Structure 1
Amino acid sequence: MADAICSNVMLDLETMGKGPDAAIVAIGACTFDIAAGKIGTAYYNRVDLATAVSCGGVIDASTVTWWLQQGDEARSEIAREGGMHIAEVLRSFEVWMDRHTHDAEVWGNGASFDNVVLRGAYTRNGTSAPWAWWNDRCYRTVKALHRDVPMERLGTHHNALDDAISQALHLIAMLNPKEAG
């Protein structure tokens, strides 16, 4: 499925804030097919925090404090050198979406977080998000409706790509339990 054009994307952001204008430090995403129960292509990039802030992203102290309490792997991943300028990451994500999706439903963990924050970053950078607003989907809502379906975490918790893949697999298990796995 890695080369297929998909209509579902799971998005996960790591940020330094909680509001709609939160400064983004990493974007992870994967395409997936609910009916086939498969994960497709993946996207991951780290953002240079200084560029996220210079382009209007906001840092809040409580989120920084929260990050200080997270695991070493997750913290070191967002802190290491080499993050790209936010504008470059946004363009890169747009190119990835164009190559691997068509009229994608973009799932985020919370109706007011991942999709909203990323859409806001695009707006602050003078461009539009690479998906239609009516295709925003809320993974957290589905999760609340299927509390009996356990989530299996893969990789590092609070790594944007690992979280996106774990969430996509969990969503598949909830919406198409016969195909999960």
Structure 2
Amino acid sequence: MKHTYTDAMADIETLDTRPSAVVISIGVVLFNRREPKVKMKELNLKFGKKEFRDEQIMMGRTVDKETVAWWKGQEPDAKRIFKQANVTSMEDALNKLTAFLTQGDTNYLIWGNGSDFDNTIITSLYESFGMQAPWKFWNNRCFRTFKGEHGHITRPPEFQGVKHDAVDDARQQARYLQAIYAELQKYNILSYKERQQ
């Protein structure tokens, strides 16, 4: 078994829940679901400032009033994203994400927390800017489904960081997935296909 990265957990913060949502941050964590001792590698893209939201709206991306209202009720630490940016443009952000997910020779499984949310919205964001998501559709994985099926066998790890910070949420989800996998391995109840991946 390779002690390298096999998986990527993605989490996003948005201003809508539709695939066309304006995205304000993307957090991705590279990890090995079977080997928690392999140190995670993180990418934390922030583009919550108004100019980046406007850039997306000009490309037809959408904002939902209920989602905006939800953000107003969040903790100040989470809402700081609306004053932060570490990219020069949306194209810059997507190029950095592509570079992060194409390093090495691994075709990562790309996990998102909802079959119709993180991965779907990121793919749509790429399309809005005339780019292609850097993974094959068959590598999409749904952490919400996996957690719903197996999450009862272990408790989630204690949360570290700021809730609704994309990279902190991605790290938490990756750690929880590793904890579930450890229990499944312990009792040898992974499916044949899962054991081969």
TM-score by length of 2: 0.83
In the aligned structure 2, how far is the partner of 1:54 from the partner of 1:176? 45
In the aligned structure 1, how far is the partner of 2:57 from the partner of 2:108? 28
- For the pair 1:155 / 2:154, whether they are aligned, the reply is no
- For the pair 1:177 / 2:176, whether they are aligned, the reply is no
TM-score by length of 1: 0.90
Q: Is the 8 A contact 2:29 2:167 kept in 1?
A: yes
Give 1:69 deviation, angstroms: 0.8
In the aligned structure 2, how far is the partner of 1:131 from the partner of 1:14? 20
- Residue identity opposite 2:77 in structure 1: E
- Shifted more, 46-55 versus 116-125: the winner is 46-55
- Residue identity opposite 2:98 in structure 1: E
Which residue is equivalent to 1:8? 7
Give 1:82 deviation, angstroms: 3.2
Distance 1:81 1:176, change over 3 A: closer
Which residue is equivalent to 2:100? 96
* Count of residues in correspondence between the two structures: 175
Gaps of 5+ in 1: none
Q: Say which of 25, 38, 51 aligns to 2:55.
A: 51
Q: Is the 8 A contact 1:8 1:33 kept in 2?
A: yes
Q: Which has the larger radius of gyration?
A: 2
Distance 1:83 1:53, change over 3 A: farther
Q: Is the 8 A contact 2:46 2:84 kept in 1?
A: no
Runs of 4+ displaced beyond 4 Å: none
Listed as ranges, the matches of 1:83-162 within 5 Å are 84=87, 85-99=89-103, 102-148=106-152, 149-151=154-156, 152-162=158-168
Which residue is equivalent to 1:70? 74
Which residue is equivalent to 1:40? 40
- Shifted more, 133-142 versus 53-62: the winner is 53-62
- Secondary structure, in 3 states, of the residue corresponding to 1:127? coil
Q: Say which of 174, 178, 188 aligns to 1:168.
A: 174
